Every structure is written in structure tokens, then in C-alpha cells.
Amino acid sequence: MKPSITMLSLLLPVTALAQNYPGMGGGSMSQADMQNMMQKAQEMQLCMQDVDQAKIQQVEQQAHKVEAEVKSLCSNGKRDEAQQQAMVYAQELVNNPDIQKIVECGKIMSGMLPKLPYMDQAGGSDDSVQHVCDQQ
């Protein structure tokens, strides 16, 4: 089975982490740590087999579109509108079963996956959430 672009993009942070691992002496990853990480990557790949890659590509395309729209709103001084749009999109992501599956699979590699844009906005209007325009 060929690795998908999505899978490769999810594993890129693993490579960066391995190169900059602060663990065992010399700042490099030990053989055992590397093997453990590779095993977790394989487990994640098995978990991701149930995710419809075509749907994920649609989500990625939509994310790029929403991100561009939000940036445009921010640059035009429409902060409230940008924040609202980011929150609506984040809620759509949270409710998307394919994204839920990716998050579930991502727990296997906890802390090593890239963050989806605006996911921290899904919590609602909490004052502790940074404004979307200030994250750019």
C-alpha cells in the first residue's frame, strides 16, 4: 500500500522530533526510542486505514480556503467576523467523524502530530482562547 500524502504529512513531525530529540546524550534519539516511535507510527498507520482519504483531502482543501478567508478578514480589520468564522469551522471539524478518527489515531503518537488550524477555537467564547487574528 502506498503511503498517502496525508499520512506522510502526519509523520513529518516524527522525523523532526527524531532529529532534535532531547533525550539520551548528545541530543539524538536512542535506537530503542526510534524503534518505539516507528512501532507507534505503524500502529497509527493501521488505525488510519479506516479513514477515507478523499474526505480528508476535502477537509484539507476546505481548511486552506477557510484559513485564507479568516486571514483576509483579519487583515481587513473584521476581527469579530474572523473569530466567528474560525469558531464555526472548528466546530465543524470537531463534529466531523473522519477528523474524530484522526484525533483518535493521533493519540497513538501523542504530542507528535501537527495541530489543525483553529481547533483551539472549538471551545467556544472562553476568554482564555486567543483571538484567531492574533495567532497569525
Global model pTM greater than 0.85: no
Sequence-distant (6+) residues with CB within 8 A of 45 are 3, 7
pLDDT digits (tens, 9 = 90+) for 45-72: 898 888 888 988 998 999 999 999 999 9
Residues 6+ apart with CB under 8 A from 42: none
Q: Which residue has the higher pLDDT, 23 or 79?
A: 79
Q: What is the pLDDT of residue 53?
A: 86
Check residue 2 and give its pLDDT.
44
Mean pLDDT of 88-110: 86
- pLDDT for residue 68: 94
> Residue 41: which pLDDT band, with cuts at 50, 70 and 90?
confident
Give the domain extent around 121. 5-135
pLDDT at 19 over 70: no
Please give the tally of structural domains in the chain. Answer: 1
- 37 CB-near residues (< 8 Å, 6+ apart): 14, 17, 18, 29, 112
For the cut 80, the answer to whether the pLDDT of residue 73 exceeds it is yes
